[in-house]
Chains A and B, each alone.
Chain A
Amino acid sequence: MSPSTAGIATETAIRPFRVDVPEEQLVELRRRIDATRWPDRETVTDQSQGVQLARLLGLARYWSLGYDWRKVEAKLNALPQFVTEIDRLQLHFIHVRSRQPNALPVVITHGWPGSVLELIKTIGPLTDPGAFGGRAEDAFDVVMPSLPGYGFSAHPSESGWGPERIGSAWDVLMKRLGYTRYVAQGGDYGAVVTHAMGRQAPAGLLGIHVNLPAAVPLEVLPAVGGGPAPTGLSEKERAALDQVITAAMRDTAYSLMMGTKPQTIGYSLNDSPVGLAAWMLGHPGFNRWAYGSDPGQPTTDEVLDDITLYWLTSSPTSAARSYWENHGRSPLVAAAQMTVDISIPTAVSAFPGELYVAPESWARRAYPKLIYFHEAERGGHFAALEEPEIFSQELRAAFTSLR
């Protein structure tokens, strides 16, 4: 092999990956948490000004004194993780093959402020459905990449890593893994990337499933901007519109900031762990999280695993930049996601605790080839983390006709 071909071999090589954070980084994190300079308490008795001081103080204390990063590190390292270079960027991914011979390959994309950690509880149910109440023929091979600038993927040093480029890279990744027929799934920013893949419709992509559908029709947007609502909305549509209005007014500050000035907000998030935690917990997906005292998921450790992953990989700014690369296109609006251009089969699960519960009527209008629509009984924005079995059941049902 000549030196030049050796170079090519390296570029397409898939190398095993393990997480091993240097101990001094963990010491430094604890030092910064302990040295936090706190603001005054909020002037209200609820979360309307942002994460409440007492809650964040409690979380920070545990983060410094009781929380153990090494546990989740071991959890990750127990999974087959890899890196490979695509389009000059080193990308990290988890790849678990099912024991079933005809398992359907699926690439699942996380969002912000999530990571591959929000997805790993679905690996068992998806790759080994027989052990989780499903049928062996529902099995998937799962590929879970870290978005560029997130987690253990490299941080882009030049602009251009928008959803389209990421979508193209995912197709390269799946083909490089030897999958010529596969499906794609995503929520949050993962849905944005999955929509891009649906529009690109690369050879072999059989269909997509999203759990944050871009179903909001154009004619209700004036109402979101403060104008009148169109007449003739059904009860479900009216309820969904009210949720979108609430989200636009209350919950979009973070996306506007990251979408316009990711570097500006990044300086404080990369320098202050508590600032990072408050910022990530400000995401509406965490709105109802009771800081570990809720009966279900996620646990305090799971939330801190995710925040600590962002901290240790120094990726708050590079992750925020993915919003800038998305040019302010709303993930909820059909026209912004150009769903009309998605000609391949599309499946939608609407989770009741999501930012908005998309009505089927809107989803049918948004997606030219809607093959599956179902309202799940439980779960929110981080459905794979909160309800991994329901989430997995949704994927099985959504993709069964494409096998």
Chain B
Amino acid sequence: MSATTAVEVAIRRFRFEAPEADLVDLRRRLQATRWPDKETVKDESQGAQLAKLQALVGYWGTDYDWRKVEARLNALPQFTTNIDGLDIHFIHVKSRHKGALPLLITHGWPGSVIELLKIIEPLTDPTAHGGSAGDAFDVVIPSLPGYGFSARPQAPGWNPDRIARGWNELMHRLGYEQYVAQGGDWGAVITEVMGRQAPAGLRGIHVNLAAAVPPDVEAALAGTGPVPAMSEQERAVFDALRAYRMSGYAGYFVALTARPQAVGYGLTDSPVGLAAFFLWHPGFANWSYGDDPADPKTKDEVLDDITLYWVTNTATSSGRLYWEHGGASPTSAAAIKTAEISLPVGVTVFPDDVYRPPESWARRAYRNLTYFHEVDRGGHFAAWEQPQLFSEEIRAAFHSLR
């Protein structure tokens, strides 16, 4: 084996420590924020409200402590390895239970590995979290290229297909010949691509943002086709999707798809601009980001995620994934080509996610649907918001594939 090859496949331990000067500069920028006028309405219909954002930023620039989440991350086994020319960061936690099923979990935008930290214990140590030893997983949680601690691609081409191939390479490099894959948001798109690619050893996938909108419904939503006949439940989902698309949710999606660099300058230079842009995502719509310890969606958790993007300067590189994907809707069965997935597929619908696909649509989209369940709580960031419930879903979804 040549020395070069050895370096390329090497798996190196990873720790992150943000330079103190970067944190000082962040606080300086936050305190020097040049604020716009207040919105001219009494709700969020023009975007993040000034008073709410000022309160969050006031805390971010003074008492918020990045070192806490940094310590949480550094307490986990983190690694980097070079795949297809790019250093990929990942968390890798093995279960102490023999026969644990290896599970690759992919985050999305504007999330990160931080949204997945709370499910590591329930998945790797199920007996301490209401499960049995037979439910154990080894978990691998990579940072997407251009996100977090993974390197930022300097050339085009890091689209979901390439990332999916890279993920399979990663699992094999870790010695896993048989594994399953899971994701929501971009993680769902990449997981579905893996399902299409069906590399040897991938036994099945689970997604918590299904690409289940049928082509005829998609055409009706786009105004290029008639509204098809639907059941009452399907019609309700259709109406919700239509209202949702009218509401301007798509602005960030369209902007990042069309011009990630144009948007990126402001987000890279202005931490407040970055925060406002991220909080636009519908996944944060139900978040209070307050102080209530009973509400897991605290301002610290939101700021951990936003600060991760800031300190790694990945606002622009992460947005480029939208450009790479060319605007294909992550919820459209046709755009994601779900018909080409022959592997077993599990779907969990969380009620507060961006849409709630009915089982009938999921059955049309995935020809080998082995699990479908709509749970009673949780939203777009289900692993973050409801880690125990999310973990139970993963156990149930993959039970038949062990």
Contact = CB atoms under 8 A, between A and B. Distances in A.
Interface string A371-395: 0000000000000000000000000
A279 B40 contact: no
B255 interface: yes
Interface in A264-298: 264-272, 274-279, 281-282
Nearest to B327: A249
Contacts of B327: 249
A40 interface: yes
A263 B261 contact: no
A149 to B, nearest CB: 9
Contact of A275 (B155, B250, B270): B270
Interface residues of B, number: 62
Interface stretch (B6-14, B48-56, B134-142): B48-56
Interface string A27-51: 0000000001111111110001111
B378 to A, nearest CB: 25
A39 B248 CA distance: 26
B273 A275 contact: yes
Contacts of A53: 261
Contacts of A50: 259-265
Given A40-B317, A265-B47, A271 B34 contact: yes
Interface in B43-65: 46-50, 53
A318 B36 contact: yes
B265 A51 contact: yes
B153 A272 contact: no
Contact of A43 (B156, B225, B258): B156
A262 B265 contact: no
A157 interface: yes
B320 A268 contact: no
A252 interface: yes
Contacts of B251: 253, 256-257, 259-261, 264
A274 B50 contact: no
A379 B369 CA distance: 57
B40 A268 contact: no
B266 A272 contact: yes
A318 B79 CA distance: 46
Nearest to B250: A256
Contact of B48 (A41, A221, A263): A263
B297 to A, nearest CB: 19
A232 interface: no
A317 interface: yes
Interface stretch (B228-236, B274-282, B345-353, B394-402): B274-282
Contacts of B222: 225-227
A264 B47 contact: yes
Max chain B C-beta neighbours (<10 A), residue from A48, A53, A263 = A263
B316 to A, nearest CB: 4
A275 B265 contact: yes
Interface in B224-262: 224-225, 247-252, 254-255, 257-262
B374 interface: no
A48 B259 CA distance: 7
A64 B276 CA distance: 27
A179 to B, nearest CB: 30
A259 B263 CA distance: 16
B33 interface: yes
B277 A268 contact: yes
Contact of B274 (A225, A268, A317): A268
B380 interface: no
B288 to A, nearest CB: 18
A101 to B, nearest CB: 43
Contacts of A42: 261
B3 interface: no
B313 interface: yes
Nearest to B277: A264
A14 to B, nearest CB: 25
A155 B37 contact: yes
A261 B46 contact: yes
B40 A159 contact: yes
Contact of B273 (A269, A314, A324): A269
A35 to B, nearest CB: 8
A264 B36 contact: no
Max chain B C-beta neighbours (<10 A), residue from A48, A250, A251, A272 = A272
Contacts of B264: 39, 50, 278
Contacts of A155: 37
Nearest to B279: A264
Contact of B36 (A267, A274, A282): A267
A263 B259 contact: no
B171 to A, nearest CB: 26
A275 B255 contact: no
Contacts of B40: 156-159, 321
30 contacts: A36-B269, A39-B264, A39-B316, A41-B154, A43-B153, A43-B156, A49-B259, A49-B261, A50-B259, A222-B224, A225-B224, A249-B258, A252-B254, A257-B255, A259-B248, A263-B46, A263-B47, A265-B47, A268-B267, A268-B273, A268-B276, A269-B36, A270-B34, A271-B33, A271-B35, A271-B269, A272-B270, A278-B264, A279-B265, A321-B46
Interface of B: 25, 33-41, 46-50, 53, 152-156, 222-225, 247-252, 254-255, 257-270, 272-277, 279-280, 313, 315-317, 320, 323, 327
Give me the 3 closest cross-chain CB pairs, A-B, nearest first. Answer: A268-B273, A275-B266, A260-B248
Given A39-B317, A261-B46, 4 more contacts: A43-B153, A227-B224, A263-B47, A272-B265
